[in-house]
A and B are shown apart, each in its own frame.
Chain A
Amino acid sequence: MTSSPGGLAAKTLPLLRHPVLRRLAQAFFVAFLLMVFAFLLIRLIPGDPAMILLGDEATEEDVIAYRKLLGIDGSIPSQFGRYVSNLVRGDFGVSIRSREPVLSIVGKRLPVSLWLTVTTIVMTIALALPLGVAAALYRRTWFGHAFQIGASVLVATPVFFSGLLLILLFAVQVNLAPIAGYHAGFPANLYYLWLPALTINFVLVPVLARILQSSIVETSTEEFVEAAIIRGTQGWRFYWRYLLRPSLAPTIAALGYFAATVVSYAVIIEIIFNLPGLGMTLVDAVRNRDYPLVQGIVFLSGLLVVGLTFMADLVNGWLDPRAQIR
């Protein structure tokens, strides 16, 4: 096995010297590992899933039929071969409980989760960026100290608690959001999404704003910042070009990662706010031991994570050319 597919591939394939293509190759490699992981998920669980699902009373024929349904009949290599060829054809298997194809279930639930993710991330950027900049510029004033304390308190507050508090405040006291539920269709769905997104951001914004704050503080001691001051660079140019842009890379990388974790936060959030998203489906699937569905959701939401991190890297490469040579 190679530890760095990009490094090895770059030597053998000149095309992969291009940073974007190399990063893309890495993304595909991770996606492959993810596929293997999802495959092993069912196979590594102790005991025979078919026996567990059917109980002691099951007949031999039932067990065999069930194994076939789960794709765990025959040797492991042949199972893997079928699994991969099915995935390539877009066949993720059938939900044990509803007998509905996994892909169509995910297709129905994923948009809700995606909308939640997008709303959350837009909100994160809108809040964390100004907050991080302000916290860096005014770190020696009362605002900076208040930010430090406030950020620690918010990060330490569990989302199920802050979520309930926010429902109490915005949905019960002030009628600005529904208590729970969802209706599809933009922009009407934002009415149902802004409060869940805010709840997640109670954790995300303080973390990201602090990452941004410390990078800006670090950047501000750089020689090139002093050089710009001496040159007479002022106003937005100075703040954007010399403080913010060279400081963004760690924040964007973290944003890519957190965008991915929204999917797992969503498990709790979707339950609190009763959103019919992927998170809630996953919890149900686990509870019902619906292995094909669990496997499909793990793989597809994992792909989402890979895609989002890839996008974050692309944005970083564009904003900060240093990222490309690393």
Chain B
Amino acid sequence: MCQQKEREIEPLLEVKDLCISFGKGGGRKLPVIDAANLSLDQRQAVGIVGESGSGKTMLCRALIGTLPRHGAGIVSGTVRFDGQELAGAPERVWRGIRGREIGYIPQSSLAGLNPVLTVETQLVESITAVGSFSRQEARQEAAGLLEKVRIPRAQQVLKARSHQLSGGMRQRVMIAAAIAQGPKLLIADEPTTALDVTIQREILSLITQLRQELNMALILVSHDLAVIEEVCDDVMVMYAGASVEAGPVAALSKAPRHPYTRALRVSRVDRAVPGQDLEAIPGDAASVGSWPAGCRFWPRCALADEACRRDTQPALMPTAQQLSACIHAERMAELEQ
């Protein structure tokens, strides 16, 4: 699991120094991500955590090749997936990747179902995108998929349209569509944000179970560290378009080496002590287009000094068990003792 070690095999996905900006060509570009780094092995689960606006969703879109639809593009950096370079890959390459190799559950996937089509029609599309199926076979396959995502009364749901289904049901259908072509990697962008708390747990455990059943790797995006700790092996923390800390979940939760990760941990609601004020991160998140010079977290950081303000955003550097983009990572270790 340790990322610094020499690897015998190439990771399934490796994102290196990825820069993404809005706007096409010309001089008018607005960077949204400028130093994203991510690595995951076959069957591994990695969480991406960060506040809204940190670039989590744009990173996911880069991994699924839909940046141009949102008026953005990759400026530099590499995205290697299963031995293939995907940064700047043509649409033809993406058609072989999307759905087949990488399944995707979009952010507001409650709107992810076409309201005028039945669930069956949409699942059959997913199924027939790979291999040749007769209509009858594809229909059976669709019913099988719904059983896989633990939907009771599959025949009834197949004939339903999205407005006839509950939020949890719709999310299950979206998951069924995402796994239909047997991808090696499943990306779930905030899959539980719009759901009731009780249903959130069901969906998370469903994703975990499916991952094991189908031997998939998983990227789970969330703004909630608790969710990621429950589901993932590794975690990558993003702040203002940059990866600021990455490593095994246990290491980051026990001994965070970036002040932002620490701040995320202490502001967790589930760790709050009744009667005490919740510790919030001071200041506002740096928004796209107005990142501060130097380390992007310094205006909100207790450890910030002259060097943090002066230098550029630090790169990820190895510490004891993880990677951190804080120049005071060692001092954090001392402070803890």
B106 near A325: Cβ-Cβ < 8 Å: no
Most chain B CB neighbours (cut-off 10 Å) among A222, A232, A319, A320 = A232
Contacts between chains A and B (CB distance < 8 A), count = 76
B106 proximity list for chain A (CB < 8 A): 223, 226-227, 230
What residue in chain B is nearest A241 (Cβ atoms)?
A: B117
A146 within 8 A of B: no
8 Å CB contact of B69 from A226, A237, A245, A325: A226
B114 near A230: Cβ-Cβ < 8 Å: no
A231 near B129: Cβ-Cβ < 8 Å: yes
A320 proximity list for chain B (CB < 8 A): 115-116
What would be 20 A-B contacts, judged by CB atoms less than 8 Å apart?
Answer: A223-B106, A223-B107, A223-B109, A223-B111, A224-B113, A224-B114, A224-B115, A226-B66, A226-B112, A227-B112, A227-B113, A230-B104, A232-B95, A232-B98, A232-B125, A232-B181, A241-B117, A246-B114, A321-B163, A322-B163
Expressed in whole angstroms, the minimum distance between the Cβ of A62 and any Cβ of chain B is 64
A246 near B129: Cβ-Cβ < 8 Å: no
- Docked complex Cα distance between A321 and B116 (Å): 6
Q: Told that A226-B66, A231-B180 touch, could you supply 11 new A-B pairs with CB distance under 8 A? A: A223-B109, A224-B112, A227-B174, A228-B125, A230-B106, A232-B126, A232-B129, A246-B116, A321-B115, A321-B116, A322-B116
A231 proximity list for chain B (CB < 8 A): 98-99, 122, 125-126, 129, 177, 180
- Docked complex Cα distance between A83 and B79 (Å): 79
B117 proximity list for chain A (CB < 8 A): 241
Expressed in whole angstroms, the minimum distance between the Cβ of A248 and any Cβ of chain B is 9
From DSSP, what is the main secondary structure of chain A's interface residues? helix
B126 proximity list for chain A (CB < 8 A): 231-232
A233 within 8 A of B: yes
- Docked complex Cα distance between A72 and B115 (Å): 54
Expressed in whole angstroms, the minimum distance between the Cβ of B233 and any Cβ of chain A is 25
B207 within 8 A of A: no
Kindly supply a per-residue 1/0 record for chain A positions 289-326, scoring 1 wherever the CB is within 8 Å of any chain B CB and 0 otherwise: 00000000000000000000000000000011110010
What residue in chain B is nearest A219 (Cβ atoms)?
A: B114
Kindly supply a per-residue 1/0 record for chain B positions 152-177, scoring 1 wherever the CB is within 8 Å of any chain A CB and 0 otherwise: 00000000010100000000001001
A242 within 8 A of B: yes
A227 proximity list for chain B (CB < 8 A): 104, 106, 109, 112-113, 174, 177
**Shortest beta-carbon contacts, A-B, top 7:** A232-B129, A223-B111, A227-B112, A224-B114, A232-B99, A231-B126, A230-B98
Expressed in whole angstroms, the minimum distance between the Cβ of A249 and any Cβ of chain B is 9
Expressed in whole angstroms, the minimum distance between the Cβ of B318 and any Cβ of chain A is 35
- Docked complex Cα distance between A267 and B116 (Å): 39
A234 proximity list for chain B (CB < 8 A): 95
What residue in chain B is nearest A322 (Cβ atoms)?
A: B115
B108 within 8 A of A: yes
What residue in chain A is nearest B161 (Cβ atoms)?
A: A321
The tally of residues in B whose CB lies under 8 Å from a CB in A reads 31
A65 proximity list for chain B (CB < 8 A): none
B111 near A222: Cβ-Cβ < 8 Å: yes
Kindly supply a per-residue 1/0 record for chain A positions 222-265, scoring 1 wherever the CB is within 8 Å of any chain B CB and 0 otherwise: 11101111111110010001100110000000000000000000
Kindly supply a per-residue 1/0 record for chain B positions 108-149, scoring 1 wherever the CB is within 8 Å of any chain A CB and 0 otherwise: 110111111100011001100110000000000000000000
What residue in chain A is nearest B110 (Cβ atoms)?
A: A223
B64 within 8 A of A: yes
B66 proximity list for chain A (CB < 8 A): 226, 229-230
8 Å CB contact of B125 from A222, A237, A322: A237
Most chain A CB neighbours (cut-off 10 Å) among B69, B99, B116, B174 = B116
A245 near B99: Cβ-Cβ < 8 Å: no
Expressed in whole angstroms, the minimum distance between the Cβ of A229 and any Cβ of chain B is 7
What residue in chain B is nearest A247 (Cβ atoms)?
A: B116
A241 near B114: Cβ-Cβ < 8 Å: yes
A321 proximity list for chain B (CB < 8 A): 115-116, 161, 163
- Docked complex Cα distance between A229 and B112 (Å): 11
Expressed in whole angstroms, the minimum distance between the Cβ of B22 and any Cβ of chain A is 15
A230 proximity list for chain B (CB < 8 A): 64, 66, 98-99, 104, 106
Expressed in whole angstroms, the minimum distance between the Cβ of A112 and any Cβ of chain B is 37
A229 proximity list for chain B (CB < 8 A): 66, 69, 98
Expressed in whole angstroms, the minimum distance between the Cβ of A136 and any Cβ of chain B is 14
Name A78-93 residues within 8 Å CB distance of B: none
B100 within 8 A of A: yes
- Docked complex Cα distance between A226 and B104 (Å): 10
Expressed in whole angstroms, the minimum distance between the Cβ of B160 and any Cβ of chain A is 10
A246 proximity list for chain B (CB < 8 A): 114-116
Expressed in whole angstroms, the minimum distance between the Cβ of B261 and any Cβ of chain A is 30
A325 proximity list for chain B (CB < 8 A): 163
B107 proximity list for chain A (CB < 8 A): 223
- Docked complex Cα distance between A246 and B64 (Å): 24
A319 proximity list for chain B (CB < 8 A): 116
8 Å CB contact of B111 from A224, A242, A322: A224
B112 proximity list for chain A (CB < 8 A): 223-224, 226-227
- Docked complex Cα distance between A317 and B223 (Å): 40
Most chain A CB neighbours (cut-off 10 Å) among B98, B109, B114, B121 = B114
Kindly supply a per-residue 1/0 record for chain B positions 207-232, scoring 1 wherever the CB is within 8 Å of any chain A CB and 0 otherwise: 00000000000000000000000000
B129 proximity list for chain A (CB < 8 A): 231-233
Expressed in whole angstroms, the minimum distance between the Cβ of A209 and any Cβ of chain B is 21
Expressed in whole angstroms, the minimum distance between the Cβ of A268 and any Cβ of chain B is 38
Expressed in whole angstroms, the minimum distance between the Cβ of A221 and any Cβ of chain B is 9
A233 proximity list for chain B (CB < 8 A): 125, 129
A242 proximity list for chain B (CB < 8 A): 114
Expressed in whole angstroms, the minimum distance between the Cβ of A50 and any Cβ of chain B is 57
B161 proximity list for chain A (CB < 8 A): 321
Expressed in whole angstroms, the minimum distance between the Cβ of B135 and any Cβ of chain A is 14
Known: A230-B98, A232-B95, A325-B163. A245 touches B116 (CB 8 A): yes
Most chain B CB neighbours (cut-off 10 Å) among A223, A224, A231, A319 = A231
